[in-house]
Structure 1
Amino acid sequence: MKKRLLAMLLTGALCASMAACSSGGEASTGETDGETGGESSGSGYSIDVILKTTASEYWQYVQAGALAYMQDNPDVTVTVKGAPSETSYQDQLNMIQTDLADDYDGYVIAPLQADMVANLVSGVEKPIVAVDTKIEAPEVLSFVGTGNESAGALGGAAAVEAAKAAGWTDIKAIEIAGVQGDTTNTDRMNGYMKGIEEAGGDFLEDEVQYADAVATKAVDAMNGIMSRHPEGIAIICANNDDMAIAAAKAAADSGNEAYANTIFLGFDGIQSACDAILEGRLTMSVAQQGYEMGYMSVEAVVNALNGETIEEFIDSGADVVTAENAQERKDTLQGYLDAVA
């Protein structure tokens, strides 16, 4: 299993692709000329990668990993694209439907609506791998991503220990969740609940606040939590880092001292989260390995095209980022972005 952690030789095509990401639009196709690069893994394969969006830092890491596989294997062409946002459901469905009818050899898909995507891929005979979020369909050969429930449990347990260290004795937790019904969101929530309760905390399931994975909605959710609980809550766990950072800022701006020692837990471990942790604006984050997800998902499709049997679940790993290791994590992530700058 190859993982090029810095991918320092990505071509100008990757630069163009990342620039498209930062503008929130569809990423351009990256190609190499086939004269230099890594070992051969296929014979002119064309792999289509459709992400939930290309308009966020986390998905840029997934994209960078997918394109790095192409750099290492110049006989494989990788195209990466994504919806404008994680609530642009129809845009992504249209994109998938169009691309399934196109002349690609295999597909990597991170579905916004896994059940709808399962219907779209019904009967497709080309290799399909799901990344980040599962697609329950026999046509999908493998899921590459974080074991979201186990990762959430890891973070939840760490948050309880941090709450104890901060002086909390009544350790209640409320989640600011993502999109209701999304399988990734549900798995993370179940993980948070398990980790928190097994470590001695109380996950308030009836008070979960759905904020559609959007920071502005997380602010509204946090304001509502503070209104209902002026006495403070020990742990606020969020479905992603953007929401966790926004919720922590809302609490700080409120001036309510009861939230001064609240543990704010995010998910993704992106650079902005590392900065926030180092600056004391966020307590911790469950770190996904987005770059590895992108690389390993394309690799899985190519292996399937080569006639190999691939695992049904390929775990890209997870860790908890705290003040002790945030700088190391940030340096690693910056290396990915520098490679395509």
Structure 2
Amino acid sequence: MTLVSALCAGMLAGCGGGSSASTGSTGDSGSNASGDAYNVTVIVKHTDGHFNKVIAGARAYGSEHDNVNVEIQSPTSATSYDEQVNMIETALGNPGIDAVVIAPQQSTSTATLVDTATKPVVALDTDFTSDKKACFVGTGNEDAALNGGKAVAEACKALGKDKPTAVIIAGVQGDETHEARLRGYRDAIEAAGGQVLEVQYTDTMPDKAAAAMEAVIQKYPNGVDAVLSIADDMALAAAKVIKDSGNTNYADTVLCGFDGNQSAIEAVMDGSLTIDIAQMGYDMGYKAVEAAVTVLEGGSVESFIDSGSKVIDSSNIDEYVSDMKSKGLWE
């Protein structure tokens, strides 16, 4: 069974929309000979292509270390705030859990929740400010978006659009990760002499992204040069709206996604998307659990551990797919 197959099997209960998608202990992890196993709970924002890779990496660390148990929990959606708050409170208060890794839906409320934590806490994917936080493991989102935005500007210039006009399809307003990506995109377009015409917040919901793209086409019927999305699902929704609109003025619009999910990479392959910014989600999950265990063992960790990113286009897509296949993350 591939890692993805095992992951999907373990997550069936959560995918059904229950209040908690806890998947229990990971792989073959269990107590070591002395019975001293570390129990690490990883609480993600929700389950999608990116977080599936994060979860796979976290599970892989547990599978490789007999003295580490990894439990995964996921709220029903990216905006199920109360659900995640309850998960965090429960994990922090459970004496059987040794460390908690959190991808916060709301950074401010998460910081408040961990204020009295008596166990190691690691921020995952999205940072938050707290003296109780051991470190943050994630993508350098602003730099990643900046690099992707530069690639978008270059693609526009290759089409003769030296001062590209752009629309940014954002996610949840106030989310630190999404705002960092927005800043990176904006800086890249403006540095290239271009202009960001619109920023549309969509709560990371594809249907809202589709509605936003429809509004953009209505407002700018003569086309825009680039559409940059802060997540793959929104980019794919925008691409479908453009295709279905039949507006030929959008035929050569440069489309950029962010995550590196299989569906988006396949869209780059077939030309539906131009560029995708791939997060190294597997490495992110692996390194987050690794950092938690290091702290439990009395070691020190850097305050920020960058799990990396890569701008994917037609020039390097085969290399990326090969890497995903080698980790069992390509169906």
State the distance in 2 between where 1:10 and 1:150 align: 30
State the distance in 1 between where 2:93 and 2:260 align: 36
Read off the aligned partner of 1:66 and give its amino acid letter: A
Answer yes or no: is the 8 Å Cα contact 2:137–2:287 preserved in 1: yes
State the distance in 2 between where 1:34 and 1:229 align: 55
Structure 1 residue 235 corresponds to structure 2 residue 226: yes
Read off the aligned partner of 2:135 and give its amino acid letter: S
Structure 1 residue 46 corresponds to structure 2 residue 39: yes
Aligned residue among 199, 210, 225 for 1:208: 199
Would the alpha carbon gap of residues 154 and 32 (structure 1) be closer, same or farther in structure 2, given more than 3 Å must change?
A: closer
Would the alpha carbon gap of residues 11 and 216 (structure 1) be closer, same or farther in structure 2, given more than 3 Å must change?
A: closer
What SS does the aligned partner of 1:129 have? Answer: strand
Identity %: 44
Q: Find the counterpart in structure 2 of residue 124 from structure 1.
A: 117
TM-score (normalised: structure 2): 0.92
Q: Find the counterpart in structure 1 of residue 63 from structure 2.
A: 71
Answer yes or no: is the 8 Å Cα contact 1:171–1:235 preserved in 2: yes
Q: Find the counterpart in structure 2 of residue 174 from structure 1.
A: 167
- Deviation, structure 1 residue 252: 1.3
State the distance in 1 between where 2:329 and 2:168 align: 34
Read off the aligned partner of 2:24 and give its amino acid letter: T
Read off the aligned partner of 1:264 and give its amino acid letter: L
State the distance in 2 between where 1:52 and 1:11 align: 19
Answer yes or no: is the 8 Å Cα contact 2:53–2:329 preserved in 1: no
TM-score (normalised: structure 1): 0.90
Structure 1 residue 194 corresponds to structure 2 residue 187: yes
State the distance in 2 between where 1:289 and 1:67 align: 15
Cα RMSD of the aligned pairs, angstroms, is: 2.4
Count how many residue pairs are aligned between Structure 1 and Structure 2: 327
State the distance in 1 between where 2:251 and 2:318 align: 23
- Deviation, structure 1 residue 28: 1.2
Answer yes or no: is the 8 Å Cα contact 2:40–2:98 preserved in 1: yes
Q: Find the counterpart in structure 1 of residue 242 from structure 2.
A: 251
Q: Find the counterpart in structure 2 of residue 282 from structure 1.
A: 273
Read off the aligned partner of 2:60 and give its amino acid letter: A
Question: What stretches of structure 2 of length at least 5 have no aligned partner?
Answer: none
Deviation string for 1:60-118 (max 9, x for gaps)? 10000000000110110000111111011111111111111112100100000110111
Would the alpha carbon gap of residues 33 and 253 (structure 1) be closer, same or farther in structure 2, given more than 3 Å must change?
A: closer
Deviation string for 1:286-337 (max 9, x for gaps)? 1100000000000000000111111000000111011222233233324434
Deviation string for 1:134-153 (max 9, x for gaps)? 01111111000000000010
What SS does the aligned partner of 1:61 have? Answer: helix
